[in-house]
């Protein structure tokens, strides 16, 4: 009886492809680019109502004004005995700038030569649509799963606002989590990212005419310095550390030197009539799945403070540091924790089996070339993988697209996995 229900769902995925595409087109039609953000309320209300029609209990709250999270929960018939699942995705998409050469309206998706084109098709409204579509088919087939299903539609992923972190802080837990983000239907873990600010400040302020007193023999301002010039000491030191990391650290699946320290933005000085008394450097750091953002930030601080000890002025005016943040928009900072795939976990085995049954090939297990909110789920103690349709090269691109066939096949994998996993005893 139960296997017959699953077979019916798989047949309907094949026969109702237009319904799946219509759902994806609807999600794409909501203009949710971030930046500027604060524009997801309408889309999230739509998803909330969609989940409610599938008998989910919903929870909706504002992460930022105009940007709410939505979580739908459908409790299993025997929750305490069978495995539970979180399906996670973000509703925000990459920005679209005026003048970009789109073949179609980026928010009015079209299918052209077997590909669905629109902003968010790959990253990641395609994956969201497929998961929602499968949940609807389960409801229509009156499939009562013994384990719990939690669907999270979150905001802010594109700008480090970590709507998923708030889901974790709100107490949502499960035995396994799938982030249905862009992975070309490969099972991925990820490295991490943290941003930081390095600040150098002279407690004194000088007219630019006093510069001679700082740099020439007989000058009387040995205690003064130009903060912009002193920041070059820090930048050169970061380059030394980055090169050291490239030869001293590695992780399977990543090319050497993937762990980078990017000096992304520099701010300093008042105007041309002053010696710059302050300089701030904004850096972006990529690190490997077996590292933490806490240890990486400590390592960088220790390296820069040691470099400062070798400089006569910085020795007495060492740099200060600010790490991370909850929003690239609000506080100009972000964190994406790294996580590794536990290849021995039962959820990974079940997902790989579902993939093999649909694609008739072994699932590829590796690491993502980018970052997702999955790190927050893993940090909350939930075994997590990234597994979604779409190629990373399409994410954020002009004329972003996803292969319709891959979207359909991904839906079949999700149907098989959800059914099998939530029927598996704890």
Active site annotation includes 92: yes
CA 17/CA 24 separation, integer angstroms: 11
CA 391/CA 183 separation, integer angstroms: 6
- The burial of 147, by beta-carbon neighbours within 10 Å (0-12 exposed, 13-18 middle, 19 or more buried), is given as buried
Active site annotation includes 362: no
Radius of gyration of the chain measured on its C-alpha atoms: 25
With helix as H, strand as E and coil as C, how does the chain read? CHHHHHHHHHHHHHHCHHHHHHHHHHHHHCCCECCCCCCCHHHHHHHHHHHHHCCCEEEEEEEECCEEEEEEEECCCCCCCECCEEEEEECCECCCCCCCCCCCCCCCCEEECCEEECCCHHHHHHHHHHHHHHHHHHHHCCCCCCCCEEEEEECCHHHCCCHHHHHHHCCCCCCEEEECCCCCCCEEEECEEEEEEEEEECCCCEEHHHHHHHHCCCCCCCCCCCHHHHHHHHHHHHHHHHHHHHHHCCCCCCCCCCCCEEEEEEEECCCCCEECCEEEEEEEEEECCCCCHHHHHHHHHHHHHHHHHCCCCCCCCCCEEEECCCECCCCCECEECCECCCCCCHHHHHHHHHHHHHHCCCCCEEEECCCCCHHHHHHCCCCEEECCCCCHHHCCCCCCEEEHHHHHHHHHHHHHHHHHHHCCEC
Catalytic option among 123, 148, 157, 161:
157
Is residue 151 within a helix (H) or strand (E), and if so which, with residue range? Answer: strand 149-154
CA 209/CA 399 separation, integer angstroms: 54
Is residue 40 within a helix (H) or strand (E), and if so which, with residue range? Answer: none
Catalytic option among 12, 48, 92, 158:
92
Q: Report, as residue numbers or ranges, the catalytic residues.
A: 92, 157
């Amino acid at each position: 009886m139960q296997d017959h229900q699953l077979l019916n769902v798989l047949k309907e995925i094949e026969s109702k492809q237009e319904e799946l595409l219509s759902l994806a087109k609807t999600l794409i039609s909501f203009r949710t680019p971030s930046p500027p953000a604060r524009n997801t309320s309408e889309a999230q209300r739509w998803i909330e109502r969609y989940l409610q029609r599938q008998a989910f209990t919903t929870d909706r709250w504002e992460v930022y004004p105009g940007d709410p999270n939505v979580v739908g929960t459908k409790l299993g018939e025997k929750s305490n005995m069978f495995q539970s699942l979180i399906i996670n995705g973000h509703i925000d998409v990459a920005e679209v700038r005026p003048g970009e050469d789109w073949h179609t309206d980026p928010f009015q998706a079209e299918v052209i030569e077997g590909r669905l084109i629109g902003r968010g098709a790959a990253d990641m409204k395609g994956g969201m649509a497929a998961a929602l579509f499968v949940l609807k088919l389960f409801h229509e087939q009156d499939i009562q799963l013994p384990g719990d299903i939690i669907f999270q539609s979150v905001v802010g992923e594109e700008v480090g606002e970590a709507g998923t972190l708030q889901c974790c802080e709100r107490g949502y837990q499960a035995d396994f989590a799938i982030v249905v983000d862009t992975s070309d239907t490969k099972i991925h873990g990820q490295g991490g990212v943290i941003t930081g600010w390095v600040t150098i400040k002279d407690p004194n302020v000088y007219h630019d005419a006093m510069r001679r007193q700082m740099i020439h023999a007989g000058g009387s301002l040995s205690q003064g310095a130009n903060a912009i010039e002193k920041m070059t000491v820090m930048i050169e030191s970061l380059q030394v550390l980055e090169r050291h990391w490239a030869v001293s650290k590695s992780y399977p699946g990543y090319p050497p030197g993937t762990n980078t320290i990017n000096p992304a933005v520099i701010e300093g000085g008042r105007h041309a009539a002053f010696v710059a008394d302050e300089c701030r450097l904004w850096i972006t750091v990529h690190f490997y799945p077996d590292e933490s953002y806490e240890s990486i930030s400590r390592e960088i601080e220790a390296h820069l403070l040691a470099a400062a000890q070798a400089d006569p002025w910085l020795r007495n005016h060492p740099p200060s540091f600010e790490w991370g943040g909850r929003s690239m928009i609000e506080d100009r900072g972000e964190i994406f924790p790294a996580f590794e795939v536990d290849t021995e976990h039962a959820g990974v085995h079940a997902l790989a089996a579902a993939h093999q049954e649909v694609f008739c090939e072994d699932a590829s297990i590796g690491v993502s070339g980018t970052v997702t909110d999955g790190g927050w789920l893993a940090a909350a103690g939930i075994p997590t993988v990234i597994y979604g349709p779409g190629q990373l090269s399409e994410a954020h691109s002009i004329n972003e697209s996803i292969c319709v066939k891959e979207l359909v096949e991904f839906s079949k994998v999700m149907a098989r996995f959800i059914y099998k996993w939530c029927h598996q005893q704890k």
